[in-house]
């Protein structure tokens, strides 16, 4: 198939490799090395999308990151992604793209009716229109706005691609491989510095690929290739193309994304699609170049209106003509080069120069080449709907506010140039306050805030000589500071055209009685008239104008529109641009995928999985697991078709009647040693610890300084100066940090050391009336009688040769023990317990049965110790010492904490003894009361009491102690339930605690 | 992401640390009368200065030591880090 606008023998594409792709259902061909944009243009396709608000036909304006319009829905390898910039994505076999924001098609889009209603859609339209009636918001306005918002469609399927993260350190990071970037990277590399050179595009060289210059008698392209090939041989250099540094963060950390896989046709399963680099650089050189500014004129958004630099790039890099009858519309010299390039390819351009007749070097050259130039001329309005057909042009009067004459000339493209805007985003992100440079009418970086230095066009120097010199000098200086080497560089000789001054003119006036839209921001459909409205309505701050008009927002971030917008505000306000100021630049410079940010931390790799040494056994025995932080804990062991409730009832009942074992490895364990350990515990816990004898455990509660309970658990005195502390599974890490805080900061004089031993010990609880019998079989040589090992006793022994710690502690409220062995023997211990337990009808039980057992005993856990309860609230005030001081004690005297009707833990049973009470239900007096219905408390934990065979819950209720015997309603708007409940004691089973001591 | 110089381990990424608040706050001594106001100030009241701030950081994914960092809260510049036993002036 013929590519109608492809030039012969021009460009850097690989013509040996034809690539077939699909656009809006039609098949096209391009070449390897094309972007989707250049391939479409090669086929004469300009119309690629519809604008956001008015659905006007839009085509390509730029050739890279500057492109505001050509955002397409692109599918590669079956993976579809919206808002892909056609000018940045490389063509690969099988790529398929469709236009966005149009229906039924980009050629005929019903939404374009907005264009005829445009006087009803001025700036601030949304703020003004969707205000009243208020009741319309949810049902009418919001759905309408939602439908209109956004452009493409996000895929609902799981992203199957692989994304990676990489961390790198270097002496010097150079962002951009144009002339200044290449020169500085080269100089620094020669000084032995570790250099990373990042280039956003697939090809290195930046403007050297398109500018007609010579360096050391080589073309710009050849010189850049020579430097790159030399850098490639140097081990201290990392060269990265297709890699954009998009964010500059604190302490000189840059984040860069690398497009690794999308341009490959046959990539392996392990090739990531994209890679995110976190780069910590000692020094950074920002050589990000500049972006061409458009000049604003009537219907300047018509497809076929392109930036002059883009037209040149399409010709020189891709061998593509954007048109065969071009108008070059410029206020400066650089666009003449585009005219020369057209001429070279046998296309006759006409140059409209807004400046008065002058005789600069490029004007001479144009005249010599026989190119027609019209001085003091500009394009007033582009004619044509889906493609430029002609242009009404006019000769400007001296004051440039009206026209001496106008005429219409035929054309098929308008290449516009309004001079250059340095790309200062990264410098600004680093904290650099920008300054306005009147010489170039744009902002450039001011004083460096971090170790960054901006050079070349990004710093406003637009001659190659200056750029290359500053590159060599800066690269050399920054690197020699680090490496202490000072390699002499021969600065190459540069030949380039000398440019004359540009015209400070960016917006064409309109003839009387003509009112075409003149767009400033293409992506957000912001026209000159919108900015005028914003100012007329009193918006003065540029940040407000931005938000009211949406100028410079969205993915484009005003790359081509910011300065024209500022210029307009400054003209209307009669202020100079620096007084108007600029809006804030924020990362990312261009959009990045969520996948890149997430990296490999998806699915199973989202966070580490912690498994106990017995995990394998649980898996083999039908355990259904539950996440407890990063831990996997058996929730219940499923038998047959059992439900969760059935299984947990069976397991809990078996503990009450016989014996059960539970994997308690996940409990936090902290080893505490030192001569002041007892004193330390005495300060950390609310109860007394100085007199705990060796070989005894004690239950303790620790508070935060604000008096709220932080955690609870038992601590055992292993020997004189050695304690073993247990914490809840959830609070293990926090408790360790808490202890370290007090030991290192508050009481450094205490001679105590703490270390986490959670992973070192495997633990199993043996609970139930037959647990002592079972224990005696596990430790046949040991006296495990009530006298030798009483409640809260501790013995060390060995389990068939394995050293073991035996604690007589109980969470279930039954006679119970916990056995700890070194983690490696955890599975051995468990299997021995299962084997020996058989004759006692031992069964393993999971966390659901564990909860059931503790709830009906009225033992508190996480849901009650939620950071909002003091000891009194959960009936633990008996553990609060009145004699000694401890962490948080002073807070317990606060008025709210000693109120007579303070909240307190209670038990709840449904009056029908049948309905389960959802956890989180609110307790109210009258279920039918008008909202807001006063909340009297909440349900913290619920279970099915196996002892009494009916539902039972724990709750925290206002004035709990005087509420026993009353009836309330437990309502859960989430579950849509309302259950009448009776308030009883929180100790539903064995209130005297006889069993644990039996 | 900040780059923090742990006085025990050297320069490490912020990821390895946890923030611990104002380092100049002193806990009232144990077993001493404390006025309500003094206690409330200790528990609840913190300044939120713009500029230099001496604060605590905890090297949780490293040596597990708490230490002091003098940082500018507006620019994130870190001027000094020090062990708990050392003074930052």
* DSSP assignment of A970-997: EEETTTTEEEEEEEE-S--S-TT--GGG
Structure confidence at residue A931 (pLDDT): 87
CA distance A882 to chain B (A): 12
> Per-residue pLDDT averaged across A362-372, rounded?
97
Chain A residue with CA closest to B21: the answer is A741
Using a CB-CB cut-off of 8 Å, the residues of chain B touching A891 are 39, 43
Q: How far lies A361's CA from each of A218, A333, A342, A368, A499, in Å?
A: 22, 9, 18, 11, 7
- Which residue in the block uniquely carries the two structure tokens 């510049």? B77
CB-based contact A890 B34, cutoff 8 Å: yes
Q: What is the pLDDT of residue A144?
A: 62
Please state, as a whole number, how many other Cβ atoms lie within 10 Å of the Cβ of residue A658: 18
Residue A118 above 70 pLDDT? Answer: no
Q: What are the backbone angles phi and psi of residue A532, rounded to the nearest 5°?
A: -60, -40
B27 touching A (Cβ < 8 Å) = yes
Paired strand residues for A403? A396
> From CA A764, how far away is CA A834, in angstroms rounded?
11
Q: Give first-to-last CA distance, chain A, whole Å.
A: 92
Shortest distance between the Cα of B66 and any Cα of chain A, in A, equals: 7
How many Cβ atoms from other residues are within 10 Å of residue B51's Cβ? Answer: 9
A384-401 pLDDT tens trace: 999 999 999 999 999 999
Q: Which of A252, A745, A746 to mutate to test the interface with B (most CBs of B within 10 A)?
A: A745
Query: Which fold is adopted by the domain A294-418?
Result: FAD/NAD(P)-binding domain (3.50.50)
Tallying the residues shown for chain B, one arrives at 89
Place of tokens 């399409």: A314
CB contact under 8 A, A705 and B43: yes
The answer to whether A874 and A858 have CB atoms below 8 angstroms apart is no
Please report the pLDDT score of residue A452 as a whole number.
Answer: 96
Assign A149 a pLDDT band (cuts: 50, 70, 90): low
Do the chains contact at A745 and B56, CB–CB below 8 Å?
yes
Residue A443's beta-bridge partner residues?
A436
What's the rounded mean pLDDT across residues A518-538?
92
Q: What is the mean pLDDT of residues B36-53?
A: 96
Q: In the predicted model, is pLDDT for residue A119 greater than 70?
A: no
Do A705 and B42 lie within an 8 Å CB cutoff?
yes
∠ CA A305-A310-A312, nearest 5°, is: 110
Instruction: Name the CATH superfamily for A898-997.
Output: Aminomethyltransferase beta-barrel domains (2.40.30.110)
C-alpha–C-alpha distance, residues A412 and B3, integer Å = 55
Joined together, the tokens standing for residue A606 give 């989202």
pLDDT at A150: 60
Tell me the per-residue pLDDT of A582-633, one tens digit each, with 9 for 90 and over.
877 889 999 999 999 999 999 888 889 999 999 999 999 999 999 999 999 9
Query: 3-class secondary structure for A346-410?
Result: CCCCEEEECCCCCCCHHHHHHHHCCCEEEECEEEEEEECCCCCCEEEEEEECCCCCCEEEEEEEE
E-assigned strand segments in A216-322: 218-219, 237-240, 243-249, 253-259, 274-286, 290-292, 305-307
**Cβ neighbours of residue A44 closer than 8 Å, sequence gap 6 or more:** A4, A5
- Cβ of A737 within 8 Å of Cβ of B60? The answer is yes
- For A311-322, write each residue's pLDDT tens digit: 999 999 999 999
Chain A hits for B3, Cβ within 8 Å: 250-253, 280
A113-119, long-range: CB < 8 A, 24+ apart: A113/A55, A114/A53, A114/A54, A114/A55, A115/A54, A115/A55, A115/A56, A118/A54, A118/A517
CB-based contact, A683 to chain B, within 8 Å: yes
Residue A163 has pLDDT above 90, yes or no: yes
Rounded distance, CA A4 to CA A103, Å? 28
Nearest to A740 among B34, B64, B75 (CB): B64
Which positions in chain A touch B13 (Cβ < 8 Å)?
280
Looking at the domain A667-757, which fold is it?
Answer: Alpha-Beta Plaits (3.30.70)
Mean pLDDT on A936-964: 97
Give the CB-side neighbour count of residue A164, counting CA atoms within 13 A.
11
Closest alpha carbon to A400 in A565, A510, A293 = A510
| Distant-in-sequence, close-in-space partners of A950: CB < 8 Å, separation ≥ 6 | A909, A910, A913, A914, A944
Average pLDDT over residues A929-955: 96
pLDDT digits (tens, 9 = 90+) for B60-69: 999 999 999 9
Judging by DSSP bridges, how do beta strands A96-98 and A14-23 pair with one another?
parallel
φ, ψ dihedrals at A561, nearest 5°: -115, -20
Rounded mean pLDDT, A99-108? 79
Instruction: Read off the tokens for B26.
Output: 């002193």
- Interface test with chain A among B39, B45, B57, B69, by most A beta carbons within 10 Å: B39
Q: Are A36 and A72 in contact (CB under 8 A)?
A: yes
Rounded to whole angstroms, how far apart are CA atoms A739 and A947?
39
- In chain A, DSSP finds a helix count (H) and a strand count (E) of 24, 50
User: Alpha-carbon distance A85 to A69, whole Å?
Assistant: 8
Question: What share of chain B in percent tops pLDDT 70?
Answer: 100
Beta-carbon separation of B84 and A748 below 8 A = yes
User: In this structure, are residues A294 and A278 in contact, taking their beta carbons and an 8 Å threshold?
Assistant: no
* Cα distance between residue A493 and residue A884, in whole Å: 84
Give the closest-approach CA distance of B2 to chain A in angstroms: 6
- A550 pLDDT tier (thresholds 50, 70, 90): confident
Q: Chain A residue with minimal CA distance to B31?
A: A885
Task: Quote the tokens at residue A435.
Answer: 């300054």
Is A574's pLDDT higher than 90? no
Query: What token pair was written down for A697?
Result: 């455990």
Is the pLDDT at A147 greater than 80? The verdict is no
Q: What is the pLDDT of residue A130?
A: 60
CA A172/CA A439 separation, integer angstroms: 30
* Alpha helices by DSSP H, A727-880: 732-741, 771-778, 826-837, 847-857
Half-sphere exposure of A259 (CA within 13 A, CB side): 19
Measured between beta carbons, the chain A residues lying within 8 angstroms of B78 are 251
Q: For A134, phi and psi rounded to 5 degrees?
A: -55, -40
Q: Which residues of A386-399 are buried (b: 16+ CB within 10 A; e: fewer)?
A: bbbbbbbbbebeee
The CATH class that applies to domain A619-666+762-857 reads alpha beta
Nearest chain A Cα to B76, which residue? A250
Answer whether residue A133 shows pLDDT above 70: no
State the pLDDT confidence band at A579, using cuts at 50, 70 and 90.
confident
Q: Which pLDDT band holds residue A786 (cuts at 50, 70, 90)?
A: very high
Partner-chain residue, chosen from A253, A733, A744, that has the shortest CB–CB distance to B1 = A253
> How far does the CA of residue A909 sit from the closest CA of chain B (Å)?
39
The mean pLDDT value for A518-524 works out to: 94
Q: In chain A, what are the domain boundaries? A: 164-290+422-495, 294-418, 619-666+762-857, 667-757, 898-997
Domain over A164-290+422-495 is classified CATH 3.50.50.60: yes
User: Lowest-confidence range among A207-221, A226-240, A536-550?
Assistant: A536-550
Residues from chain B that touch A706, judged by Cβ atoms under 8 A, are 43-44
> Of A793, A828, A611, A658, whose CA–CA distance to A714 is shortest?
A793
3-state DSSP assignment of residue A504: coil
| A780 confidence band (pLDDT: 50, 70, 90) | very high
Mean pLDDT of chain A: 94
Comparing CB atoms, the residue among B2, B39, B56 nearest residue A251 is B2
Between CA A525 and CA A449 the distance in angstroms is 35
**Which of A749, A887, A890 best tests the B interface by mutation, with the highest count of B CBs <10 A?**
A890
A748/B contact by beta carbon, under 8 A: yes
**DSSP assignment, residue A321?**
-
Query: Tens of pLDDT along A35-53?
Result: 999 999 999 999 998 888 8
The pLDDT of residue A102: 76
With a cut of 70, say whether residue A943 has pLDDT above it: yes
pLDDT for residue A577 is more than 90:
no
**A304: helix, coil or strand?**
coil
Q: Tell me which residue of B63, B77, B51, B48 sits closest to B18, measured CA to CA.
A: B63
- A880-920 tens-digit pLDDT: 999 999 999 999 999 999 999 999 999 999 999 999 999 99
The reported pLDDT for the residue numbered A234 is: 98
Residue A255 · residue A590 · CB < 8 Å: no
- Residue-level pLDDT at A145: 61
The pLDDT tens digits of the residues spanning A817-840 come to 999 999 999 999 999 999 999 999
What distance in Å separates the CA atoms of residue A426 and residue A254, rounded to the nearest whole number?
Answer: 9
DSSP H or E stretch at residue A416: strand A413-417
pLDDT in tens, A852-874: 999 999 999 999 999 999 999 99
Q: Provide the token pair at A455.
A: 């050079």
Same fold, A164-290+422-495 and A294-418: yes
Question: What's residue A55's pLDDT?
Answer: 87
More confident residue, A374 or A488: A374
Q: For residue A717, what are the contacts with CB-CB under 8 A and spacing of at least 6?
A: A678, A692, A693, A694, A695, A696, A697, A723, A794
**CB-count burial class (<10 Å; 0-12, 13-18, 19+) for A992:** exposed
A251 reaches B (C-beta below 8 A): yes
CB atoms near residue A126 (< 10 Å): 15
Residue whose token pair is 């106008």: A406
DSSP secondary structure string for all residues of B16-67: G-EEEEETT--PPPTTS---HHHHHHHHT-----SSEEEEEEE-TTTT--EE
Strand-pairing partners, residue A634, are A625
A235 touches chain B (CB under 8 A): no
User: What is the separation, in whole angstroms, between the first and last Cα of chain B?
Assistant: 25
**ipTM for this prediction:** 0.98
Instruction: Give the residue from A290, A592, A572 showing the smallest Cα distance to A456.
Output: A290
Given a cut of 90, whether residue A788 has pLDDT beyond it is: yes
Q: Could you name the CATH architecture of B3-25+40-83?
A: 2-Layer Sandwich (3.30)
The closest CB to that of A740, out of B1, B44, B66, belongs to: B66
DSSP A247: E
- B10-13 and B18-22 beta bridge pairing: unpaired
Specify whether the CB–CB gap between A400 and A509 falls below 8 A. yes
């Amino acid at each position: 198939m013929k590519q109608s606008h492809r030039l012969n023998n021009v460009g850097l594409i690989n013509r040996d490799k034809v690539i077939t792709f699909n656009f809006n259902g039609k098949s096209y061909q391009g070449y390897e090395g094309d972007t989707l944009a250049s391939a479409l243009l090669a086929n004469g396709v300009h119309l690629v999308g519809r604008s956001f608000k008015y659905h006007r036909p839009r085509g390509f304006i730029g050739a890279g990151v500057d492109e505001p319009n050509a955002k397409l829905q692109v599918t590669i390898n079956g993976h579809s992604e919206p808002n892909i910039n056609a000018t940045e994505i490389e063509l690969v076999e099988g790529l398929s793209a469709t236009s966005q924001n149009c229906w039924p098609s980009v050629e005929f889009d019903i939404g374009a009716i907005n264009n005829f209603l445009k006087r009803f859609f001025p700036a601030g339209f949304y703020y003004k229109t969707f205000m009243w009636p208020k009741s319309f918001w949810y049902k009418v306005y919001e759905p309408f706005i939602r439908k209109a918002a956004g452009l493409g469609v996000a895929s609902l399927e799981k992203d199957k691609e692989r994304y990676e993260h990489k961390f790198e350190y270097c002496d010097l990071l150079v962002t951009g491989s144009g002339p200044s970037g290449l020169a500085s990277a080269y100089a620094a590399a020669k000084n032995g510095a570790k250099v990373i050179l990042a280039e956003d595009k697939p090809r290195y060289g930046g403007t050297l690929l398109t500018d007609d210059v010579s360096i050391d008698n080589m073309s710009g392209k050849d010189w850049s290739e020579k430097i790159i090939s030399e850098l490639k041989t140097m081990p201290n250099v990392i060269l990265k193309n297709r890699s954009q540094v998009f964010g500059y963060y604190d302490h000189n950390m840059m984040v860069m994304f690398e497009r690794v896989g999308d341009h490959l046709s046959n990539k392996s399963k392990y090739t990531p699609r994209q890679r995110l680099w976190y780069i910590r650089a000692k020094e950074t050189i920002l050589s990000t170049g500049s972006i061409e500014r458009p000049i604003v004129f009537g219907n300047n958004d018509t497809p076929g209106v392109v930036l002059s630099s883009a037209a040149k790039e399409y010709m020189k890099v891709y061998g593509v003509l954007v048109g065969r009858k071009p108008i070059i519309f410029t206020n400066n010299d650089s666009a003449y080069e585009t005219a020369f390039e057209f001429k070279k390819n046998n296309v006759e351009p006409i140059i409209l120069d807004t400046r008065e007749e002058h005789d600069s070097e490029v004007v001479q050259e144009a005249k010599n080449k026989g190119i027609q130039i019209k001085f003091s001329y500009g394009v007033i309005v582009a004619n044509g709907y889906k493609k430029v057909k002609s242009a009404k042009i006019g000769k400007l009067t001296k004051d440039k506010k009206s026209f001496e004459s106008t005429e219409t000339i035929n054309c098929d493209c308008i290449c516009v140039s309004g001079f250059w805007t340095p790309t200062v985003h990264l410098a600004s992100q680093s904290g650099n306050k920008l300054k306005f440079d009147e010489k170039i009418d744009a902002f450039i970086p001011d004083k460096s805030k971090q170790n960054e230095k901006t050079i070349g066009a990004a710093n406003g120097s637009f001659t190659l000589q200056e750029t290359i010199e500053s590159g060599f000098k800066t690269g050399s200086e920054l690197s020699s500071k680090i490496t202490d080497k000072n390699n002499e560089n021969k600065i190459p000789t540069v030949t380039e055209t000398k440019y004359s001054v540009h015209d400070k003119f960016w917006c064409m006036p309109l003839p009387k009685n003509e009112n075409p839209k003149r767009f400033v921001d293409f992506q957000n459909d912001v026209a000159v008239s919108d900015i005028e409205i914003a100012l007329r309505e009193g918006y003065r701050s540029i940040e407000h104008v931005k938000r009211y008009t949406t100028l410079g927002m969205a993915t484009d971030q005003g790359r081509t529109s910011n300065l024209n917008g500022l210029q307009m505000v400054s003209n209307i306000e009669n202020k100079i641009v620096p007084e108007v100021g600029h809006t804030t630049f924020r990362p990312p410079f261009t959009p990045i995928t969520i996948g890149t940010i997430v990296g490999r931390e998806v699915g199973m790799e989202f966070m580490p999985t912690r498994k106990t040494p017995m995990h394998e056994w649980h898996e083999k025995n039908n355990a259904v697991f539950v996440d407890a932080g990063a831990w996997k804990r058996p929730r219940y062991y499923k038998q047959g078709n059992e439900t969760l409730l059935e299984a947990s009832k069976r397991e809990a009942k078996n503990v009450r009647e016989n014996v059960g074992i539970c994997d308690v490895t996940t409990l936090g364990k902290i080893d505490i040693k030192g001569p002041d350990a007892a004193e330390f515990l005495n300060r950390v816990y609310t109860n007394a610890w100085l007199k705990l004898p060796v070989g005894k455990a004690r239950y303790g509660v620790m508070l935060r300084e604000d008096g709220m309970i932080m955690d609870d658990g038992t601590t055992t005195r292993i020997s004189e100066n050695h304690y073993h502390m247990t914490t809840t599974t959830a609070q293990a890490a926090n408790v360790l940090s808490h202890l370290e805080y007090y030991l290192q900061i508050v009481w450094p004089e205490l001679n105590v050391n703490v270390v986490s031993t959670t992973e070192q010990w495997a633990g199993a609880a043996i609970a139930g009336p037959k647990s002592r019998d079972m224990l005696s079989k596990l430790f046949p040589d040991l006296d495990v009688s009530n006298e030798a090992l009483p409640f809260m006793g501790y013995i060390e022994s060995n389990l068939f040769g394995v050293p073991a710690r035996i604690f007589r502690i109980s969470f279930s409220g039954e006679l119970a023990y916990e056995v700890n062995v070194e983690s490696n023997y955890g599975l051995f211990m468990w299997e021995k317990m299962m084997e020996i337990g058989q004759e006692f009808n031992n069964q393993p039980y999971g966390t659901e049965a564990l909860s059931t057992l503790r709830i009906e005993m009225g033992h508190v856990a996480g849901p009650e110790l939620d950071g909002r309860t003091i000891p009194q609230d959960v009936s633990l005030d008996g553990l609060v010492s009145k004699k000694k001081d401890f962490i948080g004690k002073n807070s317990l005297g606060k008025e709210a904490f000693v109120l007579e009707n303070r909240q307190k833990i209670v038990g709840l049973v449904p009056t029908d003894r049948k309905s389960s009470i959802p956890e989180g239900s609110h307790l109210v007096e009258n279920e039918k009361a008008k909202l807001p219905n006063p909340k009297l408390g909440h349900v913290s934990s619920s279970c099915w009491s196996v002892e009494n065979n009916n539902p039972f819950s724990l709750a925290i209720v206002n004035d709990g102690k005087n509420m026993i015997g009353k009836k309330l309603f437990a309502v859960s708007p989430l579950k849509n339930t309302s259950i009448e409940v009776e308030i009883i004691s929180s100790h539903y089973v064995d209130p005297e605690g006889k069993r644990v001591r039996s | 992401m900040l780059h923090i110089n742990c006085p025990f381990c050297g320069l490490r990424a912020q990821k390895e640390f946890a923030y611990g608040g104002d380092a100049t706050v002193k806990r009232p001594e144990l077993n001493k009368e404390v006025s309500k106001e003094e206690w409330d100030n200790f528990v609840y009241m913190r300044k939120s200065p713009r500029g230099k701030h001496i604060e605590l950081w905890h090297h949780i994914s490293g040596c597990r030591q708490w230490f002091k960092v003098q940082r500018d809260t507006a620019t994130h510049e870190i001027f000094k880090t020090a062990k708990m036993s050392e003074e930052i002036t």
